[in-house]
Amino acid sequence: MNFDPNNIFGSITFNNVILWLLSVATLIFILDVIGLLPPWVAKWLAQNRLDVTIRALKSLGVKITWDGDKMPRPSFLSRTIDSLQGKEAEYKVLLRSMLEQHTLQVPVHVGLRRTFALDSFIDVIGGTTDPAMARQYARILYTHLDAEGLLDFDFVATPKDGSPLLGYEFAVISGKPLVLGVCSKGSHSKGQMHSHLILDYPHDISLKERTGILVDDSTTGGRKMLDLANALRTEGATISNAAVLFEPIGKGARALLKTNKIELNSIVLGPTGRN
């Protein structure tokens, strides 16, 4: 075969070029992984991959903050870190605004066993009759528990005479079954009787050796939540956390629940009442 230098490029096929490029790329990748590339080449490759990632994130609508030579991070992570450093989280600001919309300026007495006087009443139960509002409250509560690292539970439990619509929407967002604690002194064809509480929940699940979380709009004295926790524990469930949107101050719900090994997690405090 005679070699023709004038026809060298004509003998190079497209497949040969692709194979050559893949071989070079594979060699560079291996050298990069085992740390044998010159530092300036490794830095250039890392910067190039980072630029590609940033462009992809921006195309999805994620804002990127850049701190000098530090690794860039999505802006929603920045907000989370800022909130941990003392800035009130945005979901708490939103919750305060929603609670103000559902606050009635009327004197009321609340409490299951011992009454508690308040100069106003936050009507979350009425507010959650609007499905969109119920979902919004539930999303805020879910966001708070996510930030606190408290989403490790198998079911959601809510007193039926509390805020069952909030509990339902929270269960939907969590993807977990809902257990309702129903106040009754009579018999019931479903669930199990526990003193004055009946537990209503799907027939195809067992509460034994399952972890539940108590959810309600608020708790004043803590007795309603404690009764529900005791009924669930009788069924073999583990209950160590309760979550509420707001925590009225003055009646000692937190202390009562803590004495019974239940941690009360509230997003905001208030209103302040009197015995």
* pLDDT tens track for 189-245: 444 444 567 899 988 889 999 999 999 999 988 989 999 999 999 999 999 999 999
Residues 134 and 261 in one domain: yes
Q: How far apart are CA 268 and CA 247, in angstroms?
A: 6
- Give the predicted TM-score (pTM) of the model: 0.65
Residues 170 and 224 in one domain: yes
pLDDT of residue 83: 42
Helices 90-101, 131-147: inter-axial angle, 10-degree rounding = 150
Domain boundary among 42, 58, 84: 84
Residue pLDDT, tens place only, 18-35: 777 777 777 776 766 566
Residues 76 and 98 in one domain: no
Q: What is the pLDDT confidence band of residue 68, given thresholds at 50, 70 and 90?
A: very low
Residue pLDDT, tens place only, 196-210: 678 999 888 899 999
Residues 94 and 45 in one domain: no
Residues 71 and 193 in one domain: no
Q: Would you say residue 104 has pLDDT above 70?
A: yes
The CATH number that applies at residue 239 is 3.40.50.2020
> 204 — phi, psi (to 5°)?
-90, 10
Q: Would you say residue 15 has pLDDT above 60?
A: yes
Domain boundary among 68, 84, 100: 84
Q: How many domains does the chain have?
A: 2
**Residue 59: which domain range?**
5-84
Beta strand 121-122 with 211-218 is unpaired
Query: Pick from 198, 153, 207: which is nearest to 180 by CA?
Result: 198
Q: Would you say residue 17 has pLDDT above 90?
A: no
